[in-house]
Structure 1
């Protein structure tokens, strides 16, 4: 597992290498009201009673804040399926300079909080917004080693200013790599698309994919995954309407709610 992995559970934060709680764990939720009420009332619900108890979700905040000063490191070639690709990239930004890596990090933390409140165990591929990487193959490996039930890589696009909207990227068939996760990943893409669209009102992309879903075979983060995984391009940072949303903390919280709803819908299928 890559260095710097942050493993967050609804019972707090576990460091790399620590065993994760068993699905039947009975620890109560932290925060106000946790435990037994002073008047002898009912205790807060245990993790095992929550709808996503025992489920593991990988959240991958795309890029990282230190990438801009580490060109040699992020440009080195790493496994990405049948071919190799650059370790990572810098990411996009709005015309006013709000960087994608910062947006991805903030939104991922919000998604984590929604999911942990529902009892899920959330694994993040990076633990801050100042470091470099990890590389695309390492991001996939973190989800694989966690045996995640679902994984989503969170991004924002950097297309031309005249186009807008969100799309979910599902893996296409890459012989020897993606066959085991094709069906499950596409179901995840549909659930995420539907719930994100309903909660946020964000339109489907008008420049990539069809009805909010794009299928690709060139992304190492998908090709190297052995668990159901998708990418979400939340919007186009260079479009004024999308940028207004992406830079608004209240809208980011709505977006996190939509992402969590999509993941929950997928995880509750069985």
Structure 2
């Protein structure tokens, strides 16, 4: 017999277990399978959340390496500034140096034989120049001395312009050489040469412009300053190189006046030619082919220009 305080009967407990009226323990495998199926999905979601939020394994923020901000690029080094022009007594002065001839002239005789107007008449565009007995070209000598001369003058602060640096196959023509000095408004122009006369004729000489007027030629304004330039160079050249004025012209002064050179006739700036020695004489040739002597030659010419310009 059962009263109200009696524990429920087993069948009553089973009947209240769920809507399908099955005991709870008969539905456990289904629940386990459902949870197992959801676990991979939840794990994948958690990993994605960690990646997107930047959280590390301990819950703190930690950006993945792939999304880390790269270090700022190192800026390219600024180009070194161009060296400032040397300051010196010739600052603000312009000197044009004309290396006589061109080594390529020997291969372009048709071009250099063409006549150009030099004011008073017409003359060949340029010539080949001479050589020593061993084949050292005058054009090699003149370019070497001219480049050394440029260095010496720039050290005094001068702006130096060369009419060419053997960067062209031939020339330039004598009228163009004069024009380069004129257009540069040069304070002084020197054309560097070496002579090619008979052996035994030795020494240097300066060629000065004569007073000429005709066509595009008018040297009246440059005759006197050109003479002063020539005298300055002659005295300094003799002292620096130990060479003597020519023994075959100029009466021992080392100065000669000519009216047949287009480079002088067409110049409107103080200008001289210097024949540094005779390439056809063995003793002079030994000096002209010596780098040490060529350095002295360049320095002697530079000292003369500096003196002429009041440096």
Q: CA deviation at 1:131?
A: 2.2
Q: Which moved more, 1:127-136 or 1:159-168?
A: 127-136
Query: How does 1:103-182 map onto structure 2 within 5 Å?
Result: 103-128=141-166, 131-176=169-214, 177-182=218-223
Matched, 1:248 2:275: no
Return the offset for 1:173. 1.1
1:77-116 deviation line (CA, Å, top 9, x unaligned): 0011210100000000001110000000000000000000
Q: How does 1:15-164 map to 2 (within 5 A)?
A: 28=84, 47=86, 49-128=87-166, 131-164=169-202
CA RMSD of aligned residues (A): 1.4
- Residue 238 of structure 2 is matched in structure 1 by 197
| Corresponding residue number in structure 2 for 1:235 | 277
The 8 Å contact of residues 167 and 193 in structure 1, kept in 2 or not, is answered as: yes
Query: TM-score of the superposition, structure 2-length normalised?
Result: 0.71
- Shift in Å, 1:128: 2.0
Q: Which runs of 5+ in 2 are unaligned?
A: 1-80
**Alpha carbons of structure 1 residues 195 and 232: separation in structure 2 relative to 1, 3 Å:** same
C-alpha separation in 2, matches of 1:214 and 1:142:
24
Partners of 1:154 and 1:182 in 2: CA distance? 19
Tell me, yes or no, if the aligned pair for 2:143 and 2:165 is still in contact at 8 Å. no
Structure whose CA Rg is larger:
2
- Please state how far the C-alpha of 1:175 moved relative to its aligned partner: 2.2
Counterparts of 1:54 and 1:115, CA distance in 2? 12
Please list the CA deviations of residues 94-150 of structure 1 after superposition, one character each: whole Å capped at 9, or x if unmatched. 011100000000000000000001100001000226620000000000000000000
Larger relative CO (CA 8 A, sep 6+): 1 or 2? 1
After TM superposition, the runs of 4+ consecutive aligned structure 1 residues lying more than 4 A away are none
Q: Does the aligned pair in 1 maintain the 2:119–2:213 contact within 8 Å? A: no
Gaps of at least 5 residues in structure 1 are 1-10, 13-26, 30-46
1:156–1:237: 8 Å Cα contact kept in structure 2?
A: yes
